[in-house]
Structure 1
Amino acid sequence: MGSFSIWHWLVVLLIVVLVFGTKKLKNIGSDLGGAVKGFKDGMKDGTATDTPAETTATPQVANQTTADKATIDVEAKTKS
């Protein structure tokens, strides 16, 4: 690949721009940039929120017991 000159890469770039168009390439670039930024934020938040994740599990259990009181048991019971 090192044997390609700058002119070869310019021709390839021109063909890519003609095939996809500048607007679509701009959208792809902004989507890729947003994904990288989101990934970096997620990695930063993931290391900072390891301990609070344990505290958020407790309210879910409390909500689950409230939901269990409202549910109907579907097991059939025989009359004796």
Structure 2
Amino acid sequence: MGSFSVWHWLVVGILVVLLFGRGRISEMMGDVAKGIKAFRKGLADDEGTLGEVSAKPAPRIAADPAAPASEAPDPRRQG
């Protein structure tokens, strides 16, 4: 009783096709595929911009405690 047989999955598949129709299922799968492609493209774009940003030299910041606040080191940066 813990696992489903092939007949169970066949009946579930037929019910899904009857409820949604073949066109609707293929449309939803196409939308999922477009979302995955957009997500991967976004990741690739982010990696590209991160590479460009990290290629720039970091500005030199004075470690003088009497320096104005605009020249104070950023606490978010490590190193």
TM-score after normalising by structure 1: 0.59
In the TM superposition, structure 1's runs of 4+ consecutive aligned residues that sit over 2 Å from their partners are 50-53
Q: Following the alignment from structure 1 to structure 2, what is the Cα–Cα distance between the partners of residues 19 and 43?
A: 36
Query: Partner residue of 2:14?
Result: 14
Q: Which residue of 2 aligns with 1:29?
A: 29
* Whole-Å separation in 2 of the counterparts to 1:27 and 1:51: 36
SS at 1:50 equivalent? helix
Give unmatched runs, 5+ long, in structure 2: 54-79
Partner of 2:58: none
Structure with bigger RCO (C-alpha 8 Å, 6+ apart)? 2
Name stretches of at least 5 consecutive residues in structure 1 with no aligned partner: 54-80
Describe the SS at the equivalent of 1:49: helix
